[in-house]
Amino acid sequence: MKVLKFGGTSVANAINIKLVLNIIQKQASQNKLVVVVSALHSVTDLLQSAAQQAAVKNENYKETLAQIEKMHLELLKELVPVNEQSSPLSHIKRIINHLETLLDGCFLLSELSPRTADTILSFGELLSSYILAQALQQTIKNSSYKDSREWIQTNNHFGKAAVNFELTNRLISDFYANNEHQVLVVPGFIAATPEGITTTLGRGGSDYTAAIVAAALHATDLQIWTDVNGMYTANPRIVKQAQPIATISYQEAMELSHFGAKVLYPPTIQPVLQKNIPILIKNTFEPEAEGTIISNNAAANGNPVKGISHIDHISLITLEGPGMIGVLGSSKRLFEVLSQANVNVIFITQASSEHSICIGVLDTDAPSAQLAINKAFEVEIAQNKVAPCILESNLCIVALVGENMKNHQGLSGKMFSTLGKNNVNIRAIAQGASERNISAVINERDIKKALNTLHERFFEDNTKQLNLFVIGVGNVGQKFMEQISKQKKFLKENLKINLRVIALANSRKMLFEEDGIDLKTWQTSLDQGQKAEQQDFIEQVKNLNLRNSIFVDITANQDVAQSYAQYLKESVAVVTCNKIACSSAFDNYKNLKNLSRRHNAPFLFETNVGAGLPVIDTVKNLVASGDKVHKIQAVLSGSLNFIFNNFDTNNSFHDVVKEAGVQGFTEPDPKIDLSGIDVARKILILIRESGYQMEIEEIENQSFLPAPCMETTNNNDFFTSLTQYASHFEAILAEANAKDSRLKFVAQFEDGKASVGLQFIPKDHPFYNLEGKDNIVLFYTDRYVDQPLLIKGAGAGAAVTASGIFADVIRIGTV
């Protein structure tokens, strides 16, 4: 004997019911079956709506009733041949007429009692099971229909009646002692009192019906047919990477179903657990899929955590005060008053000091619970021995579940550190002595991030998903996107980093795709995006609230640089090649550093100095290891080095600057490079990272540009001025040649003073042979006294700068 239960989606329409019939026919060839059926998809909600409409004198209940009738009549006509429809159609009409009478009564009396509500809600299962039974008789003649109200006996607690198992089991056994049918179809969810009054078993009660019947008949297994491939490691609608669980114990399944795993109604497990009857969760739409087996013989798969689940819409109520310490019966009084107020307690935790008790209840129960508790403890509150209870809403519970968790150390630590790294604040924690469940209460807005972060940590081979929000897709930005596209597969396979670009923006458009932007068509998609607004961009990043979020700034824009604090406060990491923030006022620089530490959000800017060279990282390591930097000498502008390496008697200064722009070595406004301000920013950042406090105004800028060149307001006028002052630049070149030296724009720091300016470099100096767009930095420290620590390499260009940004992103992924 097997018991099969089919959910609402499985019987939603004729196409789905034909799939159900195929499953039944296949199994009926070898086994006797009891088939338990839910109401058609959405019908229970329609019935509830019609009842509520009628009770408040809303005549729209008639339209809702007509919709219900139409759904069932059309379904029957699709499944039963025309020549056999007459009797079933009449039966359905009689059921609908009965339903109409009940609804009319609610309308006339302006009342909907729990008893009447149960009777009205029962019609969904009565109709669906009857239609399925009629359709099944077309292919399996030895099949029949049985009203489960004749079997399952309950008390009169309408809405969620308690089953009288002794009487129910006897009725089912007695019936089956004389039953010869190969397949029996019964409605789920509904039952009756001994007096024959209809009751229901709670929403999801069709699973429970099936379990009751399976236990009474000692079935070989109970099959729950639904629209997913079993129980999942997390909610697949929230966690895209969730995987079906092959085997799971009764206790683990009970924990997961209690914590919101909708595939199974929690009370279902108890009847079959006592008889050791396995439960199979199967997919009606993929019947060959493995599904999930729930039994006492759940195989260990090496992972002590079997699943992650959650309960939405939770409120925390905290009762605290010195009047509770050492006072017997405080907890008893609290829980008694909640029981009397009909409030179900979902979560409990108590401080060992006995100073406070914290409970979790559904949001809907919270106001009445708060009122009842304050009333029960009003004397202690008046005497200031206990504070009025504190209510916090808009919370949810997230839980790790696994039978073998008790045998593995450190799981709690991993759970809480994983949440903490993504700025998910934990409001309360509970863990039972069985250690089968670790629960934490968090803000409801963080649930998606929390579930995905925990699933990544415990189920995805430690793969870390990085979600990138990129502003700036010019020369460097395009190279950055190319590098991501090229390396995406390598990173996932070798470093366990899954990179997704969630948002892109330029000065005109911005584009958001929560599941990741297609890296092959991003340019076309961005062109069709919405208008770029920086604050809107920030708000969308906040609202998405994704784990491991990284804001990537590939601009030289001051407004963008001023937004970093907003990201860091939301625990969004910042990676930037934009030097403005770190060379701004020292207080702002320190604030960004502090925000990064406080909110566990990396703030990386390696490309601020030396493009892709590891200059800043080297300084950080020197300082962290206890070394002290005393002197820095550097050529920090790849643009200026390119310009002065190519400026000679055959190439005018104007032409060389033009060529540097064409090759992408200068900023769009070349004055930023040629004025020395860019180099001043770079040396300032190195000074600050070396542990010194300095402002940009304290750096002496020995400009080589004539004042009229600096005073131009656009690029055309600037390049015209370079031609007008060609003799000025030729004179500088002639002096260098006369001194047998080369021109280099040098930044230096020593004895607390810093300067940037053009220098004549002799042949014996390390800077003399610096070619092309290369940078060079010399660090003189406590450890590097006679011979400085030297870093040298390409310091400009879109590709190397993009690679430096990319390296910072990867660094975050490997932390």
**Exposure on the CB side of residue 273, measured as CA atoms within 13 A:** 13
What is the number of H-type helices and E-type strands within the chain?
Answer: 30, 29
Question: DSSP states of 740-760 as a string?
Answer: T-EEEEEEEEETTEEEEEEEE
- Closest by alpha carbon to 36, among 233, 222, 294, 308? 222
Question: DSSP states of 682-722 as a string?
Answer: HHHHHHHHTT----GGGEEEE--S-HHHHT--SHHHHHHHH
Structure-token pair, residue 403: 């039978």
Which residue matches tokens 């060609």? Answer: 726
Q: Cβ–Cβ contacts within 10 Å for residue 496, how many? A: 16
**Exposure on the CB side of residue 103, measured as CA atoms within 13 A:** 28
Structure-token pair, residue 567: 């990201």
**How far is it, in rounded angstroms, from Cα 574 to Cα 605?**
8
How, if at all, do strands 497-505 and 464-471 pair? parallel
Q: Any residues with CB less than 8 A from the CB of 480 and at least 6 apart, and which?
A: 470, 552, 554, 802, 805, 806
Do 276 and 226 meet the contact criterion of CB atoms below 8 Å apart?
no
> Residue 469 carries which DSSP code?
E
- Closest by alpha carbon to 687, among 771, 750, 638, 757? 750
Question: SS3 for 6?
Answer: strand
Do 239 and 201 meet the contact criterion of CB atoms below 8 Å apart?
no
Structure-token pair, residue 730: 């030729």
**How far is it, in rounded angstroms, from Cα 242 to Cα 264?**
17
Which one from 682, 744, 753, 773 is the annotated catalytic residue?
A: 682
Structure-token pair, residue 45: 């909600």
Quote the distance between the C-alpha of residue 411 and its chain's center.
20
Which residue matches tokens 């990282």? Answer: 617
**How far is it, in rounded angstroms, from Cα 160 to Cα 173?**
24
Question: SS3 for 370?
Answer: helix
Q: Any residues with CB less than 8 A from the CB of 799 and at least 6 apart, and which?
A: 479
**How far is it, in rounded angstroms, from Cα 638 to Cα 679?**
10
- Closest by alpha carbon to 484, among 518, 439, 455, 527? 518
**How far is it, in rounded angstroms, from Cα 644 to Cα 635?**
12
> What residues form DSSP beta bridges with 774?
794
Contacts 24+ apart (CB under 8 A), 416-421: 416/440, 418/453, 418/454, 418/457, 419/450, 419/453, 419/454, 420/600, 421/453, 421/600
The reply to whether 682 belongs to the active site is: yes
Length of the chain: 815
Helix (H) or strand (E) holding 249: strand 247-249
Q: Any residues with CB less than 8 A from the CB of 41 and at least 6 apart, and which?
A: 8, 9, 11, 12
Strands, E assignment, 286-385: 292-295, 307-320, 347-350, 356-362
**How far is it, in rounded angstroms, from Cα 648 to Cα 714?**
26
Structure-token pair, residue 178: 């004389």
Catalytic positions, written as ranges: 682
